[in-house]
Amino acid sequence: MKHIFIKKLAAVFLCLSLSLNLVACGNNTEAKEENQIIVFNYGDYIDRDVLEQFEKETGIKVLYEEFLTPEAMYTKYKNGTVKYDLICCSDYMLDKMIKDGEAREIDIDSMEYTSNIDNDFWQVSKSFDAQNKYTVPYFWGTVGILYNTSMLDFVPDSWEFLWDKRFKNNIIMQNSVRDSFIPPLVLDGKSINTTDEKVLRKALKRLEEQKELVQSYLVDEVRDDMANEQAALAVIYSGEASLASEYNEDLEYVVPKEGSNIWMDSWIIPRSSSNYEGAVKFLDFLCRDDIAQKNFEYVYYSTPNKAVLDNIDDEEKEEDNAIFPDNDILKRCEMFTYPGEEAEKLYNRLWKELKVY
């Protein structure tokens, strides 16, 4: 979900080459379009071999495009130049798209392999897709603290440590509105989806106090900087945490005891889709045991796919608590929902105030 800069560049080039492709295809016959799907996903969030295999098995051509942030995706989707058949995005953006009527109903029961998705995750998805009609879960994870055991001799299992003066200039925060409001809101015992201005102002106050302790607000570079031992603590996504600890053995991940955010990236078929059958076929293909396994090994984020989870031995599960968290974590954590346009404006306003503070 969050990626290093080089991959950003790669994504930009890909987008460019794809849009050129699309332009080039523009004057081809309609018939050709019948047998292709246009897939829009986060950068580096799928095993490319899976795409090839799908093309080989079904004869449906996959045009694959990547984006950086849900917001960038939505802007591009709304723009309407490219008629996407499948989009993978995060909970709150899916919530917004479903509420706006941008999603097309998927006949999930008709698909062969969707039963591979653990029931827990259909339940969790209900926070944005109440009847499990519009989305199919892809990967999920939590937001927590990544810390360097060589700089800390205890487990920072509370968000409080992000306000600890001992870590001045040693803290990395997420450079995005909603994510950075998680710690103060959870500490205040409030919902991370609150739209109450008073509550949010209090959270902002906490963040402003914290600003002098923060080394930087980053998105994609959090992982690299932590692996590089730039800081002792960082707020990070579980998938990124696991990757970071591959680069640097001293890094450990913890979901604070007060609770946190659980996120879910799911597939959605937008209203603009012109090849519903192809899109459903691709979705089903992604849920198939062998493909899900392959994809999981490449992406290495928490998977909701039972078939894959059953295949992994307990030792590996114990070793990586970022990717295979305890079951009770789902209960402690809350999912983001779309707060509505007014609240979104407010969040942005507060974010700006923090940035100029």
Residue ranges binding other proteins (CB under 8 A)? 5, 9, 69-72, 74-75, 169, 175, 177-178, 211, 214-218, 225, 228-230, 341, 344-345, 347-349, 351-353, 355-356
**Shorter beta-carbon distance to other proteins: residue 70 or 183:** 70
Nearest-approach distance from CB 91 to other proteins, in angstroms? 13
What single-letter amino acid sits at 205? K
- Which segments of the chain are extended strands (E)? 36-42, 61-67, 86-90, 135-148, 171-174, 214-218, 233-237, 251-254, 262-268
Q: Give burial (CB, 10 Å; 0-12/13-18/19+) of 181.
A: buried
Q: What are phi and psi of 64, to 5 degrees?
A: -115, 130
Which residue in 215, 239, 210, 217 sits closest to 229, CA to CA? 215
**Shorter beta-carbon distance to other proteins: residue 21 or 228:** 228
Nearest-approach distance from CB 97 to other proteins, in angstroms? 13
Nearest-approach distance from CB 339 to other proteins, in angstroms? 9
Cβ atoms of residues 168 and 248 within 8 Å: no
Nearest-approach distance from CB 159 to other proteins, in angstroms? 19
Nearest-approach distance from CB 354 to other proteins, in angstroms? 9
**Shorter beta-carbon distance to other proteins: residue 276 or 347:** 347
Q: Is 5 helix (H, G, I), strand (E, B) or coil?
A: helix
Give the C-alpha separation, 283 to 11, whole Å. 22
**Shorter beta-carbon distance to other proteins: residue 152 or 329:** 152
**Shorter beta-carbon distance to other proteins: residue 163 or 351:** 351
**Shorter beta-carbon distance to other proteins: residue 133 or 345:** 345
Give the C-alpha separation, 193 to 273, whole Å. 30
Residue 78 token pair:
């709304």
Nearest-approach distance from CB 222 to other proteins, in angstroms? 11
Give the C-alpha separation, 64 to 84, whole Å. 10
